[in-house]
C-alpha cells in the first residue's frame, strides 16, 4: 500500500514543518476519530513523551477527536509500549503516542496502536489518510466527544512491567544505573527497577522539554558508561526518549547492544525450555549473532529494517523473540511491542538465575567488525539489476566466504547507496568495504 502520510512507524518530522504542524494534528485527530467512530463506540488513549511540542499536539489531537465525536483519555507522559499495553488492557479503540522516539526534541511524530496493542492494520491507516484529505466537519454538540485524564496510567504500567518476571526474583544486592534519556520513562523506570529490589542510581530523569535524547539515553550512552564505572555498578540500562529501545552497559563499562541482548534472552529462553520459533532480526543484524544462535540450534530470520517488519515476520513464523541492533527488542511472550524496560528485566532475570555477570553472558556470541560506507548517487540506481554492481558484490562475497557478509541498500530518504561489509577480521572487512565502495561508485559513474 502506498501511504501519503504514514511511514513504517507512524508520521514523523520536524515540528512546524508539514505534516508536523498543529493544524495537521487537528485534522489527523479528526480523521482518526471518524474512522474509530465508524468502527464502534469507545474511547481513544493519547500519550506522549516529554518534548515541549507534545503539549501543543496533545491539545490538537484532543480537539480533532472531540470534533469527530470520540472520547479521549489523556495519559500524559507515557512510554510508547505503555500506551500499547494500556490500549489493550483498557479495551480502548486505539492508542495514540505523540513521540519522535530517539530523535532530537525539535522533531515529533504520531504512532497508533490497535486494541490488540499492535500497529494499526494497513486498511485502517488507509481510511485515516482518506479522511485527512476530506473536508473537516463537526458532529452535533450533543454528540461531541469528552476528554479526561487517566490519573493512574503510570502505576498500571509499572505493575505490568514488574509482572513480566516471576515474583521469586529479588534483585537486592544488584546496583544498577538507569538512564531515562530525559524522556517518557523518567517517572516509571526508576520505580520498576527499585520495586524489584535493585539499588537504583538514576540519570537522565529531569526532562525540561528540550533535553530529551540530548547526549543521553540509548543512542548516546557515554554518560551511562561513566556513571556505571564511577559507581561500580553491576549494569547500566539506557532507554530512549519513548522507552521502546534498550542498550545496556556491563560492569567493565562495555556497551551491550540490541543484538547481544537478544542473544542473551534467546539463550535464557532455550535453557528454560521456553524458546519457540526462530529469532527475527533485520538485514543489519550482526553476523556474529546469527552464528552464535546457530551454535545454540536457533535459526535467525532477517526482516527489512524497522520493528514493524520484524513483528510481521515474527507473527508469520510464530517466533517469540526479535528485534534490532539499535535496541528495539520484542518479547512477544511478555508483551505486544518493543519494550526497553521489559527487555532489561529479562536480562536481569538471566543474570540472577545464572549467577553470571552481563559481561559473561554476552561472551556467548562475538560481534563481527562491521563497516558501513555511504555513497552519494546523482541518479537513481537499481542495485539489484546493475551488472557492474552485482559483479563487484559477488567478488567480495567470494573472498569472505562463510566468514563474512555483504549488504547493499538504497536509502529510502536520501540519494545514497549504503555499502556494508562485515566479517571476522577487522582489517579485511575495512579493505573489502573500501574496495566495494570504489567499485560501486565506478559502476554508477559509468
CA atoms of 7 and 49, how far apart (whole Å)? 19
Who contacts 328 (Cβ-Cβ below 8 Å, separation ≥6)? 244, 245, 258, 307, 310, 338
Neighbours of 401 (CB within 10 A): 8
Residue with cell string 551488472: 387
CA atoms of 269 and 255, how far apart (whole Å)? 22
Show the cell assigned to 141: 454538540
Tell me the three-class secondary structure of 109-170, residue by residue: EEEEECCCCCECCHHHHHHHHHHHCCCCCCCCHHHCCCEEECCCHHHHHHHHHHCCCCCCCC
101 noted as active-site residue:
yes
In the beta sheet, which residues pair with residue 44? 72, 94
Cα within 13 Å of Cα(282), Cβ side: 20
Rounded-to-10 torsion of CA 322, 326, 327, 332: -20
**Among 101, 114, 164, 326, which one carries the catalytic annotation?**
101
CA atoms of 81 and 336, how far apart (whole Å)? 8
Q: Looking at the annotation, which residues are catalytic?
A: 101
Amino acid at each position: 500500500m502506498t501511504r501519503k502520510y504514514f511511514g513504517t512507524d507512524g508520521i514523523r518530522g520536524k515540528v512546524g514543518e508539514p505534516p508536523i504542524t498543529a493544524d495537521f494534528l487537528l485534522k489527523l485527530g479528526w480523521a482518526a476519530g471518524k474512522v474509530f467512530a465508524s468502527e464502534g463506540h469507545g474511547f481513544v488513549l493519547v500519550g506522549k513523551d516529554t518534548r515541549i511540542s507534545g503539549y501543543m499536539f496533545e491539545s490538537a489531537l484532543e480537539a480533532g477527536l472531540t470534533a469527530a465525536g470520540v472520547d479521549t483519555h489523556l495519559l500524559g507522559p507515557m512510554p510508547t509500549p505503555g500506551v500499547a499495553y494500556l490500549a489493550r488492557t483498557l479495551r480502548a479503540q486505539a492508542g495514540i503516542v505523540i513521540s519522535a522516539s530517539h530523535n532530537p526534541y525539535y522533531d515529533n511524530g504520531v504512532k497508533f496502536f490497535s486494541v490488540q496493542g499492535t500497529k494499526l492494520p494497513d486498511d485502517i491507516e488507509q481510511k485515516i489518510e482518506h479522511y485527512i484529505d476530506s473536508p473537516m466537519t463537526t458532529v452535533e454538540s450533543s454528540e461531541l466527544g469528552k476528554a479526561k485524564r487517566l490519573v493512574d496510567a503510570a502505576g498500571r504500567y509499572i505493575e505490568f512491567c514488574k509482572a513480566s518476571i516471576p515474583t521469586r526474583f529479588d534483585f537486592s544486592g544488584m546496583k544498577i544505573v538507569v538512564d531515562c534519556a530525559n524522556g517518557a520513562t523518567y517517572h516509571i523506570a526508576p520505580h520498576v527497577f527499585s520495586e524489584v529490589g535493585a539499588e537504583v542510581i538514576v540519570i537522565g530523569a529531569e526532562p525540561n522539554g528540550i533535553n530529551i535524547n540530548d547526549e543521553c539515553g540509548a543512542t548516546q550512552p557515554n554518560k551511562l558508561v561513566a556513571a556505571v564505572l564511577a559507581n561500580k555498578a553491576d549494569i547500566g540500562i539506557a532507554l530512549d526518549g519513548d522507552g521502546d529501545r534498550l542498550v545496556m552497559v556491563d560492569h567493565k563499562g562495555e556497551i551491550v547492544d540490541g543484538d547481544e541482548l537478544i542473544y542473551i534472552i534467546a539463550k535464557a529462553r532455550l535453557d528454560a525450555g521456553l524458546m519457540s520459533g526462530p529469532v527475527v532480526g533485520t538485514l543489519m543484524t550482526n553476523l556474529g549473532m546469527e552464528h552464535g544462535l546457530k551454535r545454540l540450534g536457533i535459526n535467525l530470520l532477517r526482516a527489512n529494517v524497522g520493528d514493524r517488519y520484524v513483528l510481521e515476520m515474527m507473527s508469520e513464523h510464530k517466533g517469540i523473540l526479535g528485534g534490532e541492533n539499535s535496541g528495539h527488542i520484542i518479547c512477544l511472550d511478555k508483551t505486544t511491542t518493543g519494550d526497553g524496560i521489559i527487555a532489561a528485566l529479562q536480562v536481569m532475570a538471566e543474570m540472577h538465575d545464572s549467577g553470571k555477570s552481563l559481561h559473561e553472558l554476552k561472551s556467548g556470541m562475538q560481534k563481527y567488525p562491521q563497516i558501513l560506507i555511504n555513497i552519494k548517487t546523482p541518479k537513481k540506481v537499481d542495485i539489484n539489476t546493475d551488472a557492474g554492481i552485482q559483479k563487484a558484490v559477488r567478488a567480495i562475497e567470494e573472498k569472505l566466504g562463510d566468514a563474512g557478509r555483504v549488504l547493499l541498500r538504497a536509502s529510502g530518504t536520501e540519494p545514497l547507496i549504503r555499502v556494508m561489509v562485515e566479517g571476522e577480521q577487522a582489517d579485511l572487512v575495512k579493505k573489502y568495504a573500501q574496495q566495494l565502495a570504489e567499485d560501486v561508485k565506478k559502476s554508477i559513474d559509468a
